[in-house]
Amino acid sequence: MRMINGKPVLETLRELVDPGRAALVVIDVQNDYVSQGGMLDRLGYDISSMTAMVEAIAGLVAEARAAGVPIFYVQDTRLPGSRSESGPFLRFITIKCGLEASVTLEGTWGWDIADAVAPQPDDCVIRKYREGAFVGTPLDLLLRSNGVETVVMVGDVTQGCLESSAREALLHDYYVVIARDGVASHRPELHEASLKIMEAKFDVASSEEIRAEWRSHASQPKG
């Protein structure tokens, strides 16, 4: 930690992901995006990168639980009849993203969070209706209520909801750590471009580096 104009600023990954100040935020890891038979798969997109991402996130979720790091799930949500979407947002979903307007429709299997990373009863699950996880949701309130200073962000898609949420987190004064192998996209070129941009703004580390820090904290004797 260093002092800048009299204000403490975290520097190292160990400081940033300390279980006393960090939370794991899982963005949109839902069947329509990451599972065989989900919408991306049905539309013919290659979701192999999503499969690898889910495996990495599952490891982070397990380590977070062991270290006492709170987990917040963000669940992309559409209401029947597009009652939650405006014209501009429907254009974004369909024309620009190439998805159907019914993607992650509330109450469907495609809307459900993937089984491999499914939340437990004590976890917070937050529905969102726009790209960013902070727009029109209680995420900021819930993070602050639990003393969170750093958000470790994982999920999909890299250049979409994940990057939008990371930018919003910084604008809400959170430290942001991105797990490099815990994010993915069905558009590899946009995934790489987004990661390059985020590396210039946030801390980016492998899931194993983050897990190692949490294991280290968990193994320390409690005094």
**Residue span of the structural domain in which 158 resides:** 13-218
Question: Is the pLDDT confidence value at 223 over 80?
Answer: no
Active site residue 128: yes
Catalytic residue among 18, 28, 156, 203: 28
Indicate if 161 belongs to the active site.
Answer: yes
Q: Which of 128, 156, 181, 203 is catalytic?
A: 128
With the C-alpha atoms ordered 160, 205, 54, 132, is the resulting torsion angle positive or negative?
Answer: negative
Segment 138-157 shows an average pLDDT of 98
**Are 127 and 77 a contacting pair, CB within 8 Å?**
yes
Distance CA 126, CA 110 (A): 16
Q: Which residue is associated with the tokens 């194993």? A: 208
**28 part of the active site:** yes
Q: Which residues pair with 155 in a beta bridge?
A: 27, 183
Q: What tens digit of pLDDT does each residue of 24-66 get?
A: 999 999 999 999 999 999 999 999 999 999 999 999 999 999 9
Q: Does residue 3 lie within any of the structural domains?
A: no
In a domain, 6, yes or no: no
Candidate list 41, 161, 181, 203, residue with the active-site label = 161
- Number of structural domains (the chain) is 1
For residue 63, give the CATH number of its domain.
3.40.50.850
In angstroms, what CA-CA distances link 44 with 17, 41, 77, 104?
37, 5, 22, 17
Task: Please report whether residue 71 resides in a domain.
Answer: yes
Could you tell me what percent of the chain has a pLDDT over 90? Answer: 95
The overall average pLDDT reported for the chain is 95
- Closest Cα to residue 150, out of 128, 185, 179? 179
Q: What is the pTM of this model?
A: 0.95
* Structural domain includes residue 1: no
pLDDT digits (tens, 9 = 90+) for 108-120: 999 999 999 999 9
pLDDT band at 218 (very low <50, low <70, confident <90, very high): low
What is the share, in percent, of the chain residues with pLDDT greater than 70? 97
